[in-house]
């Protein structure tokens, strides 16, 4: 159980700065997901907390203790790696017990703690097996068991589910969330998968180019993206972006045009807030390019007159106006997001 | 596996015939040596040479083991074993440690050291034998086990091999060990060493045979018969001048000299294959 605080945390490799000052405070027991595209610095940030990367400047505190210079083992953390990083020559039991053995925990207690974790993770039948005799999901569980038995103050997850197939990923996602709730251990979780971020997180840190673009609860990030990047990254299919001029030129200029703040440059609108309408109410018009019927939802790709493609999300039951080559799209004025020239949100 | 390349009739025969012919060509001289070690000197000297084993097996091997010609064969076998084991174990210990240092520690001139070690690959024993002898003699290591072992104990090949293996060990494993609280020594002993056991087994086979087969170096460094190794000892059993060669005893010695390397190969091969099957990175 611990709080974590970053203050003006920076990391450089030589002269290249890859993390440009991150500030945040993580509450006791929170599950924070750091999400972003590859190369955004999310893994580096996590590894700095783990003590596997040095801190160039700024501070990391775990429970008011500055840990910048501490070795990983002195930080009271446990980490789950992307490729599990299980010791191939050790049994599942030994893998889980290794950290405790080094910490000179008495044998009886090691056995008890491993037994508890194995029970929690349903690994009891596999304790004598070697990692290579396990399936991907089981290896993942062992990696988590290794973290749990240490009873650390902080869990660190580095894309732990990215090597699993889609179905297992969903299942393990739920398990991780349940486990974290039950143990109440403060956790940092890195992923590039925005669905994972949305479903797991108490709060999300969206990173881009070494900057934390937005920190907030999943819904806050979804409903009020702080930048165009966040709007485009969180949500699938992503938010549609169009220029404000285009909106003002539309047939509904009166209602939309005034909704736009003076400095707005870009307007963003979620696919689910768009709907088809008659020509009279159209905010945008274009040509229906493709319709993806996914069952629960249907995605209609519309190429607007200037060539840009926007996605309209419809409920699965409703079909897009197939056959009509020319379609008209509208949305409610309060569902529009405006962004300035600096790509930041304007409210 | 079956049916990948399936041959029928004449093809199978041809394959087997050529394999059997090859094996026979290799085994016949060894068989002949065995025959020669079970008969008397007179029977060998009188042509044609016998092709079936004689009744003097125990007598000839007993003579070889207990008396030999210059020194008893059991003593030379022991000397060779000590030397080969010393070289194999010493080489593995030194090279695995130096590879560990080069791969996992950032110290000044790391690459310089690596290339220096690598350069010595180009200097086999024969090239540096005179200065090496000078140094060994200066340390008073003539006619001693340390003199037989130490000058041959550093190995660039093994260092290079372990380095290549260590480079394939995923970084995440090291990081996991660090998070688990393992320092450099624990990581080496608990994780790297067990993971290297396949390589160690393979190297042991190669290096043991390398050590066992040393000829030139023991010839130089040992002058007393009781320090002779078996490989040089066989050569010294050959008669000089008008002496009569004791061929049955020499052949018995030659065959006994073959046994330890064969035993190492046979025994370690099992481990080696098991290691290959077991290990996964």
> Which ipTM score applies to this complex?
0.82
For A95-143, the DSSP string reads HHHHHHHHTT--HHHHHHHHHHHHHHTT-GGGTTS-GGGS-HHHHHHHH
B190 and A98: CB-CB below 8 Å? yes
Nearest CA in chain B to A50: B179
DSSP assignment letter at A239: P
Mean pLDDT of B248-254: 88
Q: A246 pLDDT exceeds 90?
A: no
How many C-beta neighbours within 10 Å does residue A215 have?
20
Q: What is the 3-state secondary structure (H, E, C) of chain B?
A: CCCCCCCCCHHHHHHHHHHHHHHHHHHHHHHHHHHHCCCCHHHHHCCCCCCCCCCCHHHHHHHHHHCCCCCCHHHHHHHHHHHHHHHHHHHHHHHHHHHHHHHHCCCCCHHHHHHHHHHHHHCCCCCCHHHHHHHHHHCCCCCCHHHHHHHHCCCHHHHHHHHHHHHHCCHHHHHHHHHHCCCHHHHHHHHHHHHCHHHHHHHHHHHHHHHHCCCHHHHHHCCCHHHCCHHHHHHHHCCCCCCCCCHHHHHHHHHHHHHHHHHHHHHHHHHHHHHHHHCCC
The CA-based dihedral angle spanning residues A236, A237, A238, A243, taken in that order and rounded to the nearest 10 degrees: -160
Specify the pTM.
Answer: 0.79
- What pLDDT sits at residue B58? 84
Q: What percent of chain B has pLDDT over 90?
A: 27
Mean pLDDT of B30-50: 83
Q: Does A77 touch chain B (CB under 8 A)?
A: yes
Distance from C-alpha of B155 to C-alpha of B208, rounded to nearest angstrom: 13
Q: What percent of chain A has pLDDT over 70?
A: 93
Nearest CA in chain A to B280: A88
Nearest CA in chain B to A78: B179
pLDDT digits (tens, 9 = 90+) for B230-249: 888 888 888 776 677 788 88
Q: Residues 110..149 of A with a Cβ closer than 8 Å to B: which?
A: 130-132, 146
**Is residue A304 classed exposed, middle or buried when 0-12, 13-18 and 19+ CB atoms within 10 A define those classes?**
middle
**Which one of A48-62, A292-306, B214-228 scores highest in mean pLDDT?**
A48-62
Distance from C-alpha of B199 to C-alpha of B177, rounded to nearest angstrom: 21
Pick the CATH number of A4-233 from 1.10.150.120, 3.40.50.300, 2.60.40.10, 3.40.50.620: 3.40.50.300
Q: Does A103 touch chain B (CB under 8 A)?
A: yes
For A42-65, the DSSP string reads HHHHHHHHHTSS--SEEEEEETTE
Mean pLDDT of B125-149: 87
Q: B171 pLDDT exceeds 60?
A: yes
Pick the CATH number of A240-346 from 3.30.2010.10, 3.40.50.80, 3.10.180.10, 2.40.50.140: 2.40.50.140
With contacts defined as CB-CB under 8 Å, which chain A residues touch B184?
A: none
- What pLDDT sits at residue A248? 58
**Is residue B158 classed exposed, middle or buried when 0-12, 13-18 and 19+ CB atoms within 10 A define those classes?**
buried
Q: Tell me the nearest-neighbour CA distance from A234 into chain B, angstroms.
A: 29
Q: B1 pLDDT exceeds 80?
A: no
Q: How confident is the model at residue A26 (pLDDT cuts 50, 70, 90)?
A: very high
For chain A, domain boundaries: 4-233, 240-346
B179 and A87: CB-CB below 8 Å? no
| CATH-assigned architecture of domain B71-278 | Orthogonal Bundle (1.10)
């Amino acid at each position: 159980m611990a709080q974590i605080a970053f203050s003006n945390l920076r990391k450089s490799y030589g002269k290249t700065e890859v993390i440009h000052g991150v500030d945040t405070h993580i509450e006791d027991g929170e599950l924070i997901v750091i999400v972003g595209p590859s190369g955004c610095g999310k893994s580096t940030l996590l590894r700095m907390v783990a003590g596997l990367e040095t801190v160039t400047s700024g501070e990391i505190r775990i429970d008011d203790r500055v840990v910048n210079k501490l070795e990983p083992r002195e930080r009271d953390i446990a980490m789950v790696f992307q490729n599990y990083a299980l010791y191939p020559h050790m049994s599942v039991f030994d893998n889980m017990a290794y950290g405790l053995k080094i910490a000179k925990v008495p044998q009886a207690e090691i056995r008890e703690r491993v037994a508890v974790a194995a029970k929690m993770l349903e690994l009891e039948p596999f304790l004598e097996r070697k990692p290579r005799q396990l399936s991907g999901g089981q290896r993942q569980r062992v990696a988590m068991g290794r973290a749990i038995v240490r009873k650390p103050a902080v869990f660190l997850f580095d894309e732990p589910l990215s090597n699993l197939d889609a179905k297992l990923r969903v299942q393990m996602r739920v398990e991780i969330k349940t486990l974290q709730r039950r143990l109440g251990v403060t956790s940092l979780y890195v992923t590039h998968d925005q669905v994972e971020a949305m479903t797991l997180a108490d709060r999300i840190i969206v990173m881009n180019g070494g900057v934390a673009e937005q920190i907030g609860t999943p819904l806050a990030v979804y409903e009020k993206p702080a930048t165009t990047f966040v709007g485009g990254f969180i949500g699938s299919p992503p938010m549609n972006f169009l220029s404000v001029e285009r909106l003002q030129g539309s047939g509904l200029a009166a209602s939309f045009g005034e909704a736009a703040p003076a400095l707005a440059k870009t307007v963003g609108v979620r696919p689910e807030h768009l709907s088809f309408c008659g020509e009279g109410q159209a905010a945008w018009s274009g040509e229906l390019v493709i319709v993806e019927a996914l069952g629960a939802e249907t995605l209609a790709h519309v190429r607007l007159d200037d060539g840009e493609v926007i996605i309209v999300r419809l409920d699965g039951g409703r079909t897009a106006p197939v056959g009509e080559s020319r379609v008209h799209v509208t949305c409610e004025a309060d569902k529009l997001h405006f962004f300035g020239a600096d790509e930041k949100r304007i409210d | 596996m079956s049916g990948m390349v399936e041959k029928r009739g004449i093809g199978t025969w041809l394959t087997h015939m050529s394999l059997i012919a090859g094996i026979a060509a290799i085994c016949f001289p060894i068989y002949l040596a065995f025959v020669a070690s079970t008969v008397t000197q007179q029977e060998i000297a009188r042509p044609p040479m016998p092709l079936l084993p004689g009744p003097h097996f125990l007598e000839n091997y007993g003579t070889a083991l207990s008396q030999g010609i210059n020194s008893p064969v059991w003593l030379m076998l022991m000397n060779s074993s000590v030397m080969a084991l010393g070289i194999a174990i010493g080489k593995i210990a030194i090279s695995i440690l130096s590879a560990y240092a080069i791969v996992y520690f950032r110290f000044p001139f790391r690459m310089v050291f690596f290339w220096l070690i690598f350069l010595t690959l180009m200097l086999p024993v024969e090239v540096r034998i005179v200065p090496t002898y000078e140094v060994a003699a200066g340390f008073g290591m003539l006619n001693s086990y340390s003199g037989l072992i130490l000058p041959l104990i550093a190995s660039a090949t093994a260092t290079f091999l372990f380095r290549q293996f260590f480079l394939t060990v995923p970084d995440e494993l090291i990081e996991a060990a660090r998070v688990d609280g393992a320092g450099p020594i624990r990581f080496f002993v608990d994780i790297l060493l067990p993971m290297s056991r396949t390589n160690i087994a393979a190297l042991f086979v190669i290096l043991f045979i390398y050590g066992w087969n040393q000829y030139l170096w023991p010839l130089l460094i040992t002058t007393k018969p009781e320090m002779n190794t078996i490989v040089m000892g066989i050569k010294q059993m050959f008669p000089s001048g008008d002496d009569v060669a004791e061929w049955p005893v020499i052949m018995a010695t030659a065959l006994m000299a073959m046994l330890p390397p064969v035993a190492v190969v046979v025994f370690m091969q099992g481990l080696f294959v098991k290691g290959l099957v077991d290990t996964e990175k």
